[in-house]
Amino acid sequence: MRAQSFQRKGLWTGKPADQVTLDYDDRCRRRIAMTGDAGLAFLLDLAETTYLKDGDVLVLDDGRLIEIKAKSEDLIEIRGRDPLHLMTLAWHLGNRHLAAQIEAERIVIRHDPVIAHMLEHQGARVMRVREPFNPEGGAYSAHHTHGH
């Protein structure tokens, strides 16, 4: 059984045959053997490396759907004193080319004690969290995030 296409969250209907729970790295794939959480084995075989998001579905050759679930990961939540400080912290993270989930009042990155220490010295409030990681795609990733 192969999954050669996917549909974005909100653009599909029906009941998935299974789901697969993946961390961020495993949601950015082109070709790999997978097994759904309920045991359905299949080959992910997309035309190009694609970032799959929580709630997207893979479409199997026989039309069945496999829903993507984002797995919780060890992360760091970063908060600034004010919006300008948070933007400055974002600049420091971007300067290090780190994947970052940017929200209105916080930034979330993968757990990294060295980066956490640097941010604390910049005046950030840093807290370890465990939740799904959904970083920004970046300026050059638009061609990797479209549906088929």
Question: Domain check: are 43 and 78 in the same one?
Answer: no
Q: Which of 70, 87, 109 is the last residue of a domain?
A: 70
Supply φ then ψ for residue 111, to 5 degrees: -60, 125
Domain contains 141: no
Q: What average pLDDT does range 126-141 have in this prediction?
A: 84
Domain contains 144: no
Question: Domain check: are 59 and 78 in the same one?
Answer: no
Question: Domain check: are 39 and 84 in the same one?
Answer: no
Question: Domain check: are 64 and 105 in the same one?
Answer: no
pLDDT single digits (tens) 35-87: 999 999 999 999 999 999 999 999 999 999 999 999 999 999 999 999 999 99
- Integer Cα distance of 5 and 56 in angstroms: 11
pTM for this one?
0.79
Q: Which amino acid is at 130?
A: R
The number of distinct structural domains making up the chain is 2
Look up the domain containing 77 and give its range: 72-132
Would you state the pLDDT for residue 143?
41
Q: What's the CATH code of the domain at 115? A: 3.30.70.790
Question: Domain check: are 85 and 52 in the same one?
Answer: no
